[in-house]
Structure formats: C-alpha cells, structure tokens
Amino acid sequence: MRLLFYIAKQYSIPIILPLTRVCKEQNIPYALFVSGKVADVLPREWKDSKIFTDRKSASQFKPDFVLCPGNFVDFRLPGRVLRAR
C-alpha cells in the first residue's frame, strides 16, 4: 500500500505529521504532494521524505490512496481519495 498525503494548506501539516510518523514506524511507503504555499514551511522531520510539488511527479509515485485533510484534491491523481470529515 502506497500513500500520498495531499497538503494544500498550512493547517494540514499538524494533521498529517502524526500519520507520517506511523507510516515510518510501520514501513508504509508514503510521499507528500504539497502546494507552493506550503513547500517552504514543512517540518524538518520530513526532510528525508519524498516531497512532490507538481502533479506529474506525484502521479508517477502511483499511490493506492490519496489522503487530504482539506475539501479538495486533484481528481487527476491516481488512487482512491480519502477525506477527513
């Protein structure tokens, strides 16, 4: 299972951070797809993570699921979309 975390707003960072910690502990492959607004404020903890800033690269990761705490995700990304409600 490959996860892609879609981060478009800064408020998403503290929501996604504990999920990436679990992924690391469980050896679950994951990557981050971040908007330009957020790319400059990512936590140092993610410095070794795969981080994409364009849709094409994020799509090439071929995630099984796209997780986003917001209410929008690019429909062109592969994988099922899971939204926090």
**Dihedral through CA 37, CA 39, CA 41, CA 46, nearest 10?**
150
The conformation of residue 43, written as its DSSP 8-state character, comes to -
Q: Is there a contact between 84 and 65 (Cβ–Cβ < 8 Å)?
A: no
Domains in the chain, ordered, with CATH? 3-83 (3.40.50)
Q: Which ranges in the chain belong to alpha helices (H)?
A: 13-26, 36-39, 55-60
Structure confidence at residue 79 (pLDDT): 78
Structure confidence at residue 54 (pLDDT): 92
Q: What is the pLDDT of residues 33-57, one digit of tens each?
A: 999 889 999 999 999 999 999 999 9
Q: Is there a contact between 8 and 72 (Cβ–Cβ < 8 Å)?
A: yes
Structure confidence at residue 84 (pLDDT): 57
